[in-house]
Amino acid sequence: MGFSSIPPRLTTAAVIQGIDLWSTRAELAAIHEELPWRDLLSGMSPDAILDRDKVQLVNYLRGKGLLLYFMADLTDGLSRGEEAPQLRALGRSLTEPAVQQAYRDYVLAVARKLNPEFIGLAAETNLIRAAAPRALYDAVVRAANDAAADLRAAGAGGSLMFSVQVETAWGVLGGTGTYAGIETDLTDFPFVQMLGLSSYPYFSFTQPEDIPANYYSRLLNGRTLPVMVVEGGWTSAAVGNVQSSPELQTRYVTRHAQLLDSIRARGLIQLLFADIDLATVPPPVPPNLPLFISIGLTDSDFQAKPSLAAWDALFARRHVQ
């Protein structure tokens, strides 16, 4: 079980305070990020970027005894039909061989310098396929598979991963309403050693108990492939067309444990430990960001919500068994 170091406010103090609070109830630390395209494409070396931005953070996380999951996200995480924001700003594209090579070089450096136990090479691939131009999806497939080959050739030790969006697989997010599954993804990314799941079921269900018992297991279609939930959650606040509450979020943590048990999940990562303080997010604020800012288990001042006690009970059970 684990979290990312995304803070409620963009300050070093908030990052450290968050890590100190959640590391006592976690075994995994997550870094899920857009690549530093501006620096990479300006000629800065991946090693220099990681020395500046990540090594000290990862050393702090390792000092807490945490394993590391690293996802190098290839498209816009809040708008899967588009190139990554920095690439758009630069007028560049993942379809360019030089951009793909920069990604491959960066992932190799991540494996060498940070030594993550789990290495994600593409996120929410089925949603990208549903939302993006075909050329961009094909570039994701090519870049991820080439990076996997690089990592194998280098003898990298981390489990290779990609993630799928569960609601999209069920046809209810970026789909037709008909169950679609993930067979294409498993064919297109054959390097997978651990499948990542991204799941935000509050977009589809009003009650956590309404989530089908085979919500995750159906995707595997009889496979015994190891699975880890790498992002997701349930909002504690009403937002847009979603009606929710802290009590519903707490019930989701309990219901989610049942779904995880059904597939013998190897891990559960909640990217947000604390809610994001929207007022402090620098502009431009993505229009759909408010849909996700209240999935933390504490508020933006690190005051516990009821769901934190449910998480702690699940974490305690994990260690008793």
Partner residues linked to 161 by β-bridges? 120, 194
Amino acid (1-letter code) at residue 266: R
**DSSP output for 20-61:** HHHGGG-SEEEEEEE--HHHHHTT--HHHHHHHHTHHHHHHH
pTM of the model as a whole: 0.96
pLDDT of residue 321: 43
Residue 53 backbone phi and psi in degrees, to 5: -105, -25
pLDDT of residue 318: 65
Q: How far apart are CA 132 and CA 252, in angstroms?
A: 31
pLDDT of residue 52: 98
For residue 310, the domain's CATH number is 3.20.20.80
Q: How far apart are CA 29 and CA 49, in angstroms?
A: 20
- Tell me the longest C-alpha to C-alpha distance in the chain: 52
DSSP 172: S
Q: How many domains does the chain contain in total?
A: 1
- Which parts of the chain have pLDDT scores under 50? 320-321
pLDDT of residue 319: 53
Residues 172-218 have pLDDT tens digits of: 988 788 999 999 999 999 999 999 999 999 999 999 999 999 999 99
Domain range for 78: 2-320
pLDDT of residue 73: 98
Task: Specify whether the CB–CB gap between 137 and 129 falls below 8 A.
Answer: yes
Partner residues linked to 181 by β-bridges? none
